[in-house]
Structure 1
Amino acid sequence: MKMSIGQTIEIIYLDKAGKITQRKIEVNGIRDGRIRVTCLITGAPRVFLTVSILSWMLVAKKQHA
């Protein structure tokens, strides 16, 4: 499965300090080894290096009844 713009995903990544972190994000753009996202916890824009993402999975969107 390939990561795509507009997807909501959950990532596990290694930050610059060597700390492993997990968060839910919405993908806004993918280019040159960088992923531009909106963090769904803080609402803040972020940029992640693809090489620092250890794992990711698609978050299922909730279905409305």
Structure 2
Amino acid sequence: MRDTVLKRAAKTGRPVEIIYMDEKGKITQRRIRIRALREDLVEAYCFERKGIRRFKRSNILAAREPE
């Protein structure tokens, strides 16, 4: 499900909400617009941090399209 949402968001350019765990184990919710989707990495504009960020796909715990 998570990968399906990420692939669809990358294809359409629409924002997606993710739950992400960083390297220290801190969990955050982010709204992102995907720029590049790689096998192990997601490069995206993060609306909360107001900049380009890279997220490890394995650390994305959940993804959904915003309502």
For normalisation by structure 2, the TM-score amounts to 0.79
1:1-65 aligned at under 5 Å gives the runs 2=4, 3=6, 4-5=9-10, 6-60=13-67
Query: Unaligned 5+ residue runs, structure 1?
Result: 61-65
Alpha-carbon shift at residue 23 of structure 1 (Å): 1.0
Indicate the structure (1 or 2) with the bigger Cα radius of gyration.
Answer: 1
Pairs aligned (count) = 60
* Letter aligned with residue 47 of structure 2: L
Question: Once superposed, which parts of structure 1, at least 4 consecutive aligned residues long, lie more than 3 Å away?
Answer: none
| Percent of aligned pairs with the same amino acid | 33
- TM-score (norm: length of structure 1): 0.81
Larger relative strand fraction = 1
CA RMSD of aligned residues (A): 1.3
Higher helix share: 2
